Amino acid sequence: MSSLSTILKAYWLLAKWDYKISKQPYAKWKSDLDSNSVDLSSSPNQRFDAYPQQQYVQVAQLFGKVTRHHYRKMNCLRRCMALKELLISMHMPSNLHIGVRFAPELQAHSWLSVNGFIINDSKEVVSTYTEITNKSQFFQTSISTL
């Protein structure tokens, strides 16, 4: 995928996920939160770790530039879901993580990793959050309390 096509796809995916999260019912996109695996059966030679971490970081950095120039300001969940979908389209699977902290009120944050390597955030930021393992249950509980 060329840089221009990656940029255009990233821009579109950001708009798509912004719309999904802000306009569609949670039930329509909640399954995407837990879909950490990708079916690479069409490419049996590719494994989860077939791509060097640097390749993931390069895509994430390009995606970050697109995000900074998007017409809407995107929160971390929108950015992660769009980047995750972009990576999947390139047969580069990643894992979504969501964490919370109390500082002094409840705050949540999301990030992506590959084989434990964080690709779109820093260890310093991520270490201040406690990861939630059942994301769908967390969001359902959070939404029902609003």
Give the model confidence (pLDDT) of 87-143 as tens digits.
999 999 999 999 999 888 999 999 999 988 999 999 999 999 999 887 665 665 555
Q: With cut-offs at 50, 70 and 90, classify the pLDDT of residue 53.
A: confident
Residue 143: the pLDDT is 53
Long-range contacts of residues 130-138, Cβ cutoff 8 Å, at least 24 apart = 130/99, 130/100, 130/101, 131/97, 131/98, 131/99, 132/98, 132/99, 132/100, 135/33, 135/34, 135/96, 135/98, 136/30, 136/31, 136/33, 136/34, 138/98, 138/100
| pTM above threshold 0.75 | yes
Confidence of residue 45 (pLDDT cuts 50, 70, 90): very low
**All structural domains of the chain with their residue ranges:** 3-144
